[in-house]
Structure 1
Amino acid sequence: MSTLEIKDLHVSIDTEQGEVEILKGVSLTIKSGETHAIMGPNGSGKSTLAQAIAGHPSYNVTSGEILLDGEDVLEMEVDERAQAGLFLAMQYPVEVPGVSMTNFLRTAKTALDGEAPSIRTWTKDVREAMNNLEMDPTFATRNVNEGFSGGEKKRAEILQLELFKPKFAILDETDSGLDIDALRVVSEGVNRAQENNDLGNLLITHYTRILRYIKPDFVHVFVDGKIVDSGGAELADRLEDEGYVNYEKTEATA
């Protein structure tokens, strides 16, 4: 059993107008096998939370803690966070010209585990994972995300998730830009990773449609850099019907 703890996290970014605080005291605990969905309006700080956990240098943690099994994540470099078991599926996966998917995946797996995987086993694992995600085998020889559609990029992210076997995945709007078939396939990949590896998920989304496939244990509402409400899966259904207007009014009044 692993635990990811976020304690009173404050994060800011530098702008032309000076430093602006985005996260204003976020506390959250995720355990192995749990799925926590983060929902909220645009600009509420959801992606900032993902980037801060992953260690993006543009996001300044001004106070608070992030602990992985008691270890201080904020003292780790980005690669050390990945080696410790954190995985970020990016909202906008980047293209890496000149680096094939095959080379990228095996190099990354070697860096994460400290040793190269067996060629025979690794080739079988990659082929099986790609087949499960309904990816054309030729994608293995193509450059990372180069020329991929939005849905293909998201499948490639979940391919990494299944092969790298992290402790916790931060899924930043993994459902954006997906048609219904791609959404199903990607969601099934996340569910497999959770079932096979006791994965803990922090799932950031605007919409409940992905939550029909990936069932959340907890739903948290983000407004103005804070968690303003938490509940079970039924909270997502209420948000679908009512939106965030009542929460935004409450924050404005406060």
Structure 2
Amino acid sequence: MPAAEDLALLIQAAEAAGDIALKYSGPDAKRWDKPDDQGPVTEADLAVNAMLEDMLPQARPNYGWLSEESEDSQERLGRDRVFIIDPIDGTRSFAEGSRTWAHSLAVAERGEVIAAVIYLPKRELLYSAAKGQGAFCNGQPVSVTPPTELPQTKVLTAKPNLDSKHWRGGSAPEFLRSYRPSLAYRLARVADGGYGAMLTLRRSWEWDIAAGDLLLREAGGVTTDRHGTGLRFNNATPLLDGVLAAAPDVHQVLLAGLEPQGPGIPGRY
């Protein structure tokens, strides 16, 4: 199955997900807190997930399934290709009535993402990529920022990532810090050149990262874990050891500044 055909399916699914999510008013949607401090979930997350879990495996019955809102099964580990899905990335933002939440859909083949969509229906932004075919937003090509000095680089990261214990010499390098609640959207904004990098030192679920990984790489960027190792997906425990995603020159500088044996930040994001 060509990656382009999987991408067409993901685009169709993402648009259908947006139609469902937009039927809910975030602040009025029923909301629960997941056990073990895993964050909130709303009835919209579950409705979107139910539609996707019906639509996508039906279209690709030989693919495995990994979603934030589905019970995990080790059966997926025996499949060459697997859907990696976050029905709503940025659930807290959705529940607050913000526009900054996304549907994140990806297909990985033997650990590598080959088709990906990040869709923000409230912002009317649909990012897409297929392996070897470039990255796009609303059908227009996107690319990472050209080389720039780090102090002038805008980096999407949370404040805890600036703690001195994570950086060589005891202090984070100088850059322009910003933040967005959705990890998928952070990756997309690096891919479209709006920001030079995104960094999270927390362990991160694969469904938050998979689509953005391909999008950013197809836009000319570099994605690794916090130690500089390339990202692989469909792991038995679907967690990554932090994420550093950036234009190549910025990635090199930030990676060199990180303490290689740093403790990381427990939990997510």
Shorter-chain TM-score tier:
under 0.3
TM-score normalised per structure 2 = 0.26
Q: Which has the higher contact order (CA 8 A, sep 6+)?
A: 1
TM-score normalised per structure 1 = 0.27
Higher relative helix content: 1
Q: Tell which structure's C-alpha radius of gyration is larger.
A: 1
